[in-house]
A and B are shown apart, each in its own frame.
Chain A
Amino acid sequence: MRFLPLFQIARRHLLHSPFRTALSITGVAIGDCFMVLMSALMAGFEAKFVDETVESSPHVTVLDEFRDPPDEFADWLSEKEQGVVTVESAHPRERVYRIKKPYETLAAIESRPGVAAAALNVVGTSILNFGNREVGAALVGIDPDRQDRVVSTDTYMIEGRLADLHSASGAIVLGSGLAERLGVRRGDTIGASLRGSGEVGGREGTTRALRVVGVFKTGLVPVDAVRAYTLVSLAQQLLGLGRDVNRIVVRLDDHTQAQDVAADLEAMVGYRSESWQEQNKNFLSLFNIQTVITYVVTSGITIVAAFGILNVLIMLVLEKLPEIAMLKSMGYTAADVTVVFLLEGLAIGALGVVFGSIGGYWLQQALATFPIPMKGLIEIEHLIFVDPLRIYAVAATVSFASTVIAACLPALRAGRLDPVVTLRGRA
């Protein structure tokens, strides 16, 4: 009841100058709208990257190495008697890292709850050539049937099928970027210079003719640009690994649990096990940085809008000095007067947030329909927006809070005004 006349006064002030009020609301709305839009855009890119990554890459990869390899030199030194030791030209021992007893390890991994599927991989680097073109590639030896249960590569095939790797003795499936750089299509024959390491060093420079039986496109440019698939047996043969493998790739029932499962698997099998988050931590941290930058920039817009409101309300207070003096002479307190101007700020903020959120949503819908092909970290045909309620809530909170803070200064000033000073000045 006590606040009703204050609401009424605030409402009339706002309605009496519709243009000024609309301008203030628009300022807040623009800030809120762009915060929603930019946040949704950043979240869209991140979601697209994560979706493509968890679909086109294993959720957990067991590597042929240890997280904390033993210090061989320290071990050797500890075995020596006291005395002076001179070490010259020390270098790491050449050896082929491999996952020993791969089938037993694979079975152990598959038996862990939460693991949906697992497959053996042989991974090596190679130079692919076609005519005089040479391109570096990450060659992955796979069992197509098992691999497809771990990584849904078949859904990304734009030419041929993954199972076509069985169709020829030297078949290869290329990422779209790789095929493009080589200038090859399905059916072409390319050369592959396979390089192992350590014991297989003697096989370096081996070239094998491979037939391109398919091309895939995940939309993740770093994957499509370098990855190629062959059968495990071919990769093992060319890398000199015998029946050993150097990767076990794992798909989980829930990809969000990848970090926990990777830690469990590492403890279980001893080999370094990396979650998809760890393997992509550089990109994911880049998204985090982008999100922070987005919030800083869009908060800047909101702060500018808040200064606009500060300006408008200061002008309003100056304009209303006699009315404020009169209100006080009628028995309205300093707090009442402060509340009136604060309510005006709150109303501007609330309406700005509502219109800003609607504008942000509408702009997302509109921009998402325009074809805007882009190729960077991911390849897209149009802008992708993801707008969970959290984005609207954060934008609304920042916009509303900055408006209220901006309204506080003139509102407090209005409350503190001495009516006698105003009345003397006007007399």
Chain B
Amino acid sequence: MIAPAMETRALRRTLGSGENELEILHGLDVVIRPGEFCSIMGPSGSGKSTLMYLLGALDRPSSGQVLIDGIDTRSLSEAALADVRGRKIGFVFQFHYLMPEFSAAENVGLPMRKLGVPAKEARERAYELLGLLGLAGKEGRLPGRLSGGEQQRVAIARSLANRPLVVLGDEPTGNLDTKNGELVFALFERLVRQQGQTIVVVTHDPRLAARTDRVVRLQDGNVVDDGPAREVLARAGERS
């Protein structure tokens, strides 16, 4: 049996304390397998982004466990957690969050430089990734001189820089028009099918979710459905 890329066990996350305590996630058990293209859906406030931050080791659970490549993140120090993020996770957010002072290639190179990859090697890898994502010839441009779609593709290239175990996307198409949204999802599909990349995305869009292998539906901090995308979406359609 193949070990999970990521796993949560009885994952709980609360915000605030005392009378103001609010439980966002109520003991979730989610397993992400290697090579899986998974989407997390749910209405606003269902805990999608919170789950994403916990899976990506950006946040710590109130109780329960998050295992990334078998590593229990509970016992890790801040520095060790940062190292796990750098080596195992690639993030793509709704906004690209590119450094405006750095060129596209330099932005892609930043995660590699953190891990000590030499500048020349990082630049070559950045050029390779940008070429793969259709940005050949634009490697030296500053983000401000790229279109919204191009900026998001640079962000995807950056998320892939350290060959992460899992790419986590939090509404990665939320800030793009339909055409660019389609393009980004096509890229994700290609990465999963051709390179076996594990990708987990949070999305509101059922059309895009339908293109993933699996959908996990959240509601009020609980997993209400989990299975092949077509089946989960069909059940969701019947309910609505």
B83 touches A331 (CB 8 A): yes
Q: A420-B59, A424-B49 are in contact. Are A331 and B97 (CB under 8 A)?
A: no
Separation in Å of the B166 CB from the closest CB of chain A? 13
B93 touches A4 (CB 8 A): no
Q: State whether the Cβ of B16 lies closer than 8 Å to any Cβ in chain A.
A: no
A328 touches B58 (CB 8 A): yes
Separation in Å of the B66 CB from the closest CB of chain A? 14
Separation in Å of the A17 CB from the closest CB of chain B? 9
Q: State whether the Cβ of A90 lies closer than 8 Å to any Cβ in chain B.
A: no
Q: State whether the Cβ of B234 lies closer than 8 Å to any Cβ in chain A.
A: no
Q: State whether the Cβ of B86 lies closer than 8 Å to any Cβ in chain A.
A: yes
Q: A322-B97, A423-B93 are in contact. Are A5 and B113 (CB under 8 A)?
A: yes
**Bound Cα distance from A322 to B100, whole angstroms:** 11
| Chain A residues in 8 Å Cβ range of B97 | 322-323, 325-326
Separation in Å of the A62 CB from the closest CB of chain B? 73
**Bound Cα distance from A336 to B79, whole angstroms:** 10
| Chain B residues in 8 Å Cβ range of A9 | 99, 101, 110
58-108 of chain B: CB within 8 A of chain A: 58-59, 78-79, 82-83, 85-87, 89, 91, 93-95, 97, 99-102
Q: A16-B101, A423-B170 are in contact. Are A331 and B115 (CB under 8 A)?
A: yes
| Chain B residues in 8 Å Cβ range of A15 | 101
Residue ID in chain A nearest B88 by CB atoms = A331
B101 touches A4 (CB 8 A): no
Q: State whether the Cβ of A1 lies closer than 8 Å to any Cβ in chain B.
A: yes
Separation in Å of the A422 CB from the closest CB of chain B? 9
Q: A16-B101, A330-B86, A420-B59 are in contact. Are A426 and B95 (CB under 8 A)?
A: yes
Q: Which of A1, A16, A333, A426 has the most CB of B within 10 A?
A: A333
Separation in Å of the B2 CB from the closest CB of chain A? 25
162-185 of chain B: CB within 8 A of chain A: 162, 170-171
**Bound Cα distance from A426 to B97, whole angstroms:** 10
**Bound Cα distance from A234 to B142, whole angstroms:** 92
**Bound Cα distance from A333 to B81, whole angstroms:** 9
A329 touches B91 (CB 8 A): yes
1-25 of chain A: CB within 8 A of chain B: 1-2, 4-5, 8-9, 12-13, 15-16
**Bound Cα distance from A334 to B82, whole angstroms:** 9
| Chain A residues in 8 Å Cβ range of B95 | 322, 426
Q: Which of B79, B99, B102 has the most CB of A within 10 A?
A: B99
A331 touches B59 (CB 8 A): no
B86 touches A331 (CB 8 A): yes
Q: State whether the Cβ of B42 lies closer than 8 Å to any Cβ in chain A.
A: no
Separation in Å of the B59 CB from the closest CB of chain A? 5
Q: State whether the Cβ of A427 lies closer than 8 Å to any Cβ in chain B.
A: yes
Separation in Å of the B17 CB from the closest CB of chain A? 16
A2 touches B53 (CB 8 A): no
A330 touches B58 (CB 8 A): no
10-67 of chain B: CB within 8 A of chain A: 49, 53, 56, 58-59
| Chain A residues in 8 Å Cβ range of B9 | none
| Chain B residues in 8 Å Cβ range of A329 | 56, 58, 85, 89, 91
Q: State whether the Cβ of B237 lies closer than 8 Å to any Cβ in chain A.
A: no
Within 8 Å by CB of A323, from B85, B99, B170, lies: B99
B53 touches A420 (CB 8 A): yes
A420 touches B58 (CB 8 A): yes
B171 touches A427 (CB 8 A): yes
Residue ID in chain B nearest A333 by CB atoms = B82
Q: State whether the Cβ of B116 lies closer than 8 Å to any Cβ in chain A.
A: yes
A427 touches B83 (CB 8 A): no
Separation in Å of the B46 CB from the closest CB of chain A? 13
Q: State whether the Cβ of A419 lies closer than 8 Å to any Cβ in chain B.
A: yes
| Chain B residues in 8 Å Cβ range of A331 | 82-83, 85-87, 111, 114-115, 162
B86 touches A334 (CB 8 A): no
**Bound Cα distance from A8 to B110, whole angstroms:** 10
**Bound Cα distance from A330 to B98, whole angstroms:** 12
**Bound Cα distance from A326 to B58, whole angstroms:** 10
Within 8 Å by CB of B78, from A2, A13, A325, A333, lies: A333
A12 touches B102 (CB 8 A): yes
Residue ID in chain A nearest B142 by CB atoms = A16
**Bound Cα distance from A335 to B79, whole angstroms:** 9
Q: State whether the Cβ of A66 lies closer than 8 Å to any Cβ in chain B.
A: no
Q: State whether the Cβ of A73 lies closer than 8 Å to any Cβ in chain B.
A: no
| Chain B residues in 8 Å Cβ range of A424 | 49
| Chain B residues in 8 Å Cβ range of A420 | 53, 58-59
| Chain B residues in 8 Å Cβ range of A362 | none
Q: Which of A8, A325, A330, A333 has the most CB of B within 10 A?
A: A330
| Chain B residues in 8 Å Cβ range of A323 | 97, 99
Separation in Å of the B95 CB from the closest CB of chain A? 6
Separation in Å of the B171 CB from the closest CB of chain A? 7
The 20 sampled A-B contact pairs (Cβ below 8 Å) are A1-B116, A8-B113, A12-B101, A13-B101, A322-B95, A323-B97, A323-B99, A326-B99, A327-B110, A329-B85, A329-B91, A331-B85, A331-B162, A333-B78, A333-B82, A420-B53, A423-B53, A424-B49, A426-B95, A427-B93
| A-B contact sample (10 more), CB < 8 A, given A426-B95, A427-B94 | A1-B116, A9-B99, A15-B101, A323-B99, A329-B56, A330-B86, A330-B91, A331-B82, A423-B58, A424-B49
**Which B residues contact A (CB, under 8 angstroms)?**
49, 53, 56, 58-59, 78-79, 82-83, 85-87, 89, 91, 93-95, 97, 99-102, 110-111, 113-116, 119, 158, 162, 170-171
User: What are the 10 tightest A-B residue pairs by CB atom distance, in nearest-first order?
Assistant: A331-B86, A12-B101, A5-B113, A326-B97, A16-B101, A330-B111, A329-B91, A333-B82, A331-B85, A322-B97
